[in-house]
Structure 1
Amino acid sequence: MNDDAQSADQALNFEEALKALEAIVHKLESGEAPLDESIALYERGNALRELCQKRLEAAKAKIEAISLGAGGTPVGTEPFDQD
């Protein structure tokens, strides 16, 4: 994948990147693309998958659990713990 395409992909939000990835998967599964194009699509799809994964990890890191006091009012937050 060239630098221009990589830069353009980095500008995509999560939903746009996921939609582009879904389109690539559909095209690869359909067998419409010749071999060289399929390889390029696979490489871009893999880059988009990595981008989506990083965006999800960043979002998960921002999630905070809200602690409630005796009266049910929020008293503080703590980092998200997935375990």
Structure 2
Amino acid sequence: MNETKPSQTFEESMEELENVVEKLEQGDVPLEEAIAMFQKGMELSKTCHEKLEKVEHQLDQIMHEDGELVETDLSKEEQE
């Protein structure tokens, strides 16, 4: 099983995760291989989550006209 590449894009990680899930859902994978695939899926899920958090943080920064970055919290706005 391939290691998650640090340079792997979000889309590539998601595609690989979807492939892992699809194979596991088929149910015809030997137990040892299924466990390894599950672990790989968890790594990919974590990678995707971290990439999404990074993008969310970037979106939380709004550029003012004078070039100053201001932090906003989108999660608070969603609750209102």
TM-score of the two chains, using structure 2 as the length reference: 0.76
Query: How many percent of aligned residue pairs carry the same amino acid?
Result: 30
The aligned counterpart of 1:24 is 20
From 5, 8, 17, give the equivalent of 2:3: 5
| Partner amino acid, structure 1, of 2:33 | E
Residues 28 and 41, structure 1, Cα contact 8 Å, conserved in 2: yes
Residues 65 and 80, structure 1, Cα contact 8 Å, conserved in 2: yes
How large is the RMSD of aligned CA atoms in angstroms? 2.1
Greater Rg by CA: 1
From 51, 55, 59, give the equivalent of 2:55: 59
The aligned counterpart of 2:72 is 80
The aligned counterpart of 1:47 is 43
Task: Please identify which structure carries the higher strand content.
Answer: 1
Equivalent-residue separation in structure 2 for 1:30 and 1:59 (angstroms): 33
Tell me how far 1:54 sits from its aligned partner. 0.5
Show CA shifts across 1:28-80 (max 9, x none).
0111311111000000000000000100011111113456xxxxxx5665223
Aligned residues: 73
